[in-house]
Structure 1
Amino acid sequence: MKNSASDSTPDKLAKRLSGYELLQDVPQEQLLWLTRTATVRKLKAGEKLFRKDDPIDFLFLVLSGKIQFKLEQKGEYRIINELIEGDISGALPYSRAKNAMALGEAKGATEVLQLSKDHFREMIHEQPELTEALVHVMASRIRDFTTEQQQTEKMASLGRLSAGLHHELNNPAAAALRASTELKEQLSMVPEKFKAIMLLRLSPEQVDQIMKIVFSPAKKEKSKSKLSLMERSEGEDQLAEWLEQRGIDNAYAIVEVFAEKNIKKEVLQQLEEICGEDQVGAVTEWIYNVLITEKLVSDIQESTRRISGLVSAVKSYSHMDQGLERERTDLEENIRSTLVMLNSKIKKKKIAVNLEGPDNLVQPCVYIGELNQVWTNLIDNAIDAVEEGGRLDIQLQQKEQDIEVSIIDNGSGISEGVLGRIFDPFFTTKAMGDGSGMGLDISKKIIEQHGGTIEVESKPGRTVFRVTLPENPQT
């Protein structure tokens, strides 16, 4: 077990620091300068090293124990980073960070070497290798932080979308399963009904008359006419009564299908005149079998079409099977795919969505997957902002060599105090688990990476996020 750093001499502590990966290339005399200039701070479990919004005045190097960075959201705390022995944080040479974004808390007994930034000027001029090592720490920290937070936000977006997608996919899948099960049951009864048909004594002329009455194109066109609820109910009651009087089983199931095809009592009376009362039951059941089979197959086709459409939208949204280079893309189609992904939330709140753009809108050269993440963040926030029955408008416009995308909601608006911080990392007004506070920060970085801009204006009843993208971003 290592001795307490506070009990070590500067020489021993400098030798210990040379064993840390981040400082192993720093000359011993420069590490000795660090140990003589800095101080060792001992923390008890739960003690705060710094608090949120505290000025960043010290460089910290963990000598033992662990420091957790915690961020408060709606009265709850989540851990966003941890420092262990050998890790460096806090103030660093040339860093422009001014205030802590989170609090730092000791997890168990912890010792930290801390150096006031008042000594940075001296360090930069007289301790070049130490300065270089710390600048490298800063660069790595920024890179790692950005990568980690982008990945975290992507996973958060995926989590938000997956819940809605489960619902959107489950509905047509369940409908297809129900229809296929009914179809299987229906087909199992075909031999019996086929036997009944084969025993009928119908002439070719009678068969032609039946086909003309029930299955003619004119009849199919007529079936599309809309009936009032009362008219439909009265017609179904008359059909059911007529069927039951002739001892036909499953009358109400037959009525439901016949009503959809606008086959009324008068049609069945015509059939009876053609084939006779003793044969009309078998003919009716055979017609029902044909129509219900057609209906169930149509239901399965519609359900699988919806599933296929959702899969296509997912593929378009995620940019699967594509490279990681910039590509020219149809922004309106990308946004439409995002709306499909979020459709469950939109329907749940009964939000009216209007997407409009010119037919000749140019296709910018962009990273499609990254921009889809931007549309997800902005549209998802707008959905959260509006009340049930609200409105969401998305407008695309050509502005010379730029494309402007405006996402407008009629929610309660964003207060002035919040508006000034809305793009800050980790800033969120949502409860723990509902938002990381990184969505808009990452969206802004993605848009700036494309050479574009994002602006927001808000008042009660109207909030607009306006994204401007160049047609040909500079590489």
Structure 2
Amino acid sequence: MSGTPEQARIEALVADLRKVPAFVDQPQADLEWFVAEAEERRVEVGGITVREDTPADTMFVMLEGELRARRENGPQDGPVFTARAGEVTGALPFSRMKTFGVTGRAVLPIRALAFPASKFPELFQRMPVLSQRLVGLLTDRVRNITREEQQREKLAALGKLSAGLAHELNNPSAAARRSAAALRDCLERLRVAGRSSSLGPEDCGLLAQREEEIRSALKPAQYKDEFARVEREEAIQSWLEAHGVAEAWKLAPLLADANLTDAQLESFARTAGTSLGPELTRFGTLLEMERIAAELEHSTARISDLIKAIKEYSYMDQAPLQEVDIKNSLETTLTIMHHKLKRG
């Protein structure tokens, strides 16, 4: 039995120390020396065990509780280190760490032994087996930190790549959504125009022939600027109003985008007769739908190309060792990194 309260305290701490894997089989006398040289510390939840940028002069043997350590000054995206009961942390033998790089806080009530780094030389002589184990812990810690840093760098690179891809995918997907909404409007206009037309079967055949002639002769609209486009819309609107077409202001932009000439409009009007308004609306809407379909095809093709490039860039569903097409791989990389090329 212990003779004094101090001896009883040391024996109790030695018993706790033997629960730590690194100390479990160490001689009793050496453990008593270790406990005598160490300081028992207790830290409540939220309390600080070590503070960053202070001298790294203490090794901690966790007897109870848990701490988490991270940088609290400067960037907050650094790694988080955790130490639990039964682990050894802080300054370890042969570590080149001069100051603590993190601040440790208790997440569970902590009871630990704080061993001064100044006693490491004597520790090596008294407890060589423990010293080897502590060096192994240091090696493991360096390896884990290196692995975490590599993972953080990979995640950061993945985040940048994902942001760029999201930007690249957003443009064609937004264009596809706009085109789908425009197609819905076109279908509604076609239904209204179909109900309003009074064209007979024979006239329908003649008008269909006239439409094919006009469509085959159409060329893409190339206005030198927006003012020229507006002027053309106003001219078409005036022509429609002169021919008694209702809501000419709605139809004029469609015909301006389709690039119908005055001669083509007159030819269409002669064939359509009194159904000029509904039939011209129908024809202009069909031309617009062709343009929208081309935009949809371009947008979805862009999305498909990006998905294909992602699969090739990430080697999805591919063997780790294979022959590759250098030219194709470079083109894939340029597709993935297109958002960076835009900024030069």
Q: Of the candidates 274, 288, 298, which is equivalent to residue 302 of structure 1?
A: 298
Distance 1:176 1:318 in 2: 26
Higher relative contact order structure (alpha carbons within 8 Å, sequence separation ≥ 6): 2
| 1:37 equivalenced with 2:37 (yes/no) | yes
Name the structure 2 match of 1:336: 334
Distance 1:68 1:313, change over 3 A: same
The equivalences for 1:247-326 within 5 A come to 247-273=244-270, 275=271, 277-322=273-318
Q: Offset of 1:268 from its aligned partner?
A: 0.4
Query: Contact 1:61 / 1:112 at 8 angstroms: preserved in 2?
Result: yes
Distance 1:325 1:73 in 2: 45
Name the structure 1 match of 2:18: 18
Distance 1:65 1:203 in 2: 88
Distance 1:92 1:265 in 2: 89
Q: Offset of 1:257 from its aligned partner?
A: 2.5
Name the structure 2 match of 1:81: 81
Bigger CA drift: 126-135 or 143-152? 143-152
- Any unmatched runs of 5+ in structure 1? 1-5, 355-475
The equivalences for 1:74-113 within 5 A come to 74=74, 80-106=80-106, 110-113=110-113
Bigger CA drift: 139-148 or 7-16? 7-16
Distance 2:75 2:177 in 1: 46
Distance 1:224 1:237, change over 3 A: closer
Name the structure 2 match of 1:53: 53
Distance 2:322 2:39 in 1: 50
Q: Could you report, residue by residue, the CA deviation over 1:407-434 in whole angstroms, capped at 9, with x for unpaired residues?
A: xxxxxxxxxxxxxxxxxxxxxxxxxxxx
Q: Offset of 1:338 from its aligned partner?
A: 5.2
Q: Offset of 1:277 from its aligned partner?
A: 3.5
The equivalences for 1:188-227 within 5 A come to 190=190, 193=193, 196=197, 199=200, 201-202=202-203, 208-212=209-213, 214-216=214-216, 219-220=218-219, 223-227=220-224
The amino acid of 1:56's aligned partner reads A
Query: Contact 2:199 / 2:272 at 8 angstroms: preserved in 1?
Result: no
| 1:9 equivalenced with 2:15 (yes/no) | no
RMSD: 3.8
Query: Contact 1:47 / 1:105 at 8 angstroms: preserved in 2?
Result: yes
The amino acid of 1:270's aligned partner reads S
Distance 2:33 2:322 in 1: 49
Distance 1:276 1:294 in 2: 22
Q: Offset of 1:327 from its aligned partner?
A: 8.7
Distance 2:148 2:323 in 1: 25
| 1:229 equivalenced with 2:226 (yes/no) | yes
Q: Could you report, residue by residue, the CA deviation over 1:153-207 in whole angstroms, capped at 9, with x for unpaired residues?
A: 4445545555555454344334323322332443355566568486253497775
Distance 1:332 1:121 in 2: 57
Query: Contact 2:169 / 2:306 at 8 angstroms: preserved in 1?
Result: yes
Distance 1:123 1:96 in 2: 17
- State the secondary structure of the residue aligned to 1:278: helix
Query: Contact 2:306 / 2:336 at 8 angstroms: preserved in 1?
Result: no
Distance 1:136 1:327 in 2: 42
Identical-residue share of aligned pairs (%): 28
The equivalences for 1:80-159 within 5 A come to 80-106=80-106, 110-159=110-159
Q: Offset of 1:109 from its aligned partner?
A: 5.1
Q: Which has the larger radius of gyration?
A: 2
- State the secondary structure of the residue aligned to 2:124: helix
Query: Contact 2:269 / 2:276 at 8 angstroms: preserved in 1?
Result: yes
Distance 1:189 1:127, change over 3 A: same
Distance 1:127 1:143, change over 3 A: same
Distance 1:14 1:332, change over 3 A: farther
Q: Higher helix fraction: Structure 1 or Structure 2?
A: 2
The amino acid of 1:285's aligned partner reads T
Q: Offset of 1:145 from its aligned partner?
A: 2.6
Query: Contact 1:61 / 1:87 at 8 angstroms: preserved in 2?
Result: yes
- State the secondary structure of the residue aligned to 1:9: helix
Q: Of the candidates 353, 356, 366, which is equivalent to residue 343 of structure 2?
A: 353
Distance 1:246 1:322 in 2: 65
Distance 1:291 1:276, change over 3 A: closer
Distance 1:210 1:132, change over 3 A: same
- State the secondary structure of the residue aligned to 1:297: helix
Distance 1:86 1:327 in 2: 50
Q: Could you report, residue by residue, the CA deviation over 1:350-378 in whole angstroms, capped at 9, with x for unpaired residues?
A: x9633xxxxxxxxxxxxxxxxxxxxxxxx
Distance 1:109 1:189, change over 3 A: closer
Query: Contact 1:64 / 1:111 at 8 angstroms: preserved in 2?
Result: yes
TM-score (norm 1): 0.59
Distance 1:37 1:327 in 2: 63
Name the structure 2 match of 1:418: none
Q: Offset of 1:103 from its aligned partner?
A: 2.3
Query: Contact 2:193 / 2:278 at 8 angstroms: preserved in 1?
Result: yes
Aligned length: 336
- State the secondary structure of the residue aligned to 1:234: helix
TM-score (norm 2): 0.78
Q: Could you report, residue by residue, the CA deviation over 1:115-144 in whole angstroms, capped at 9, with x for unpaired residues?
A: 223333333344232123212222222233
- State the secondary structure of the residue aligned to 1:64: strand
The amino acid of 1:243's aligned partner reads L
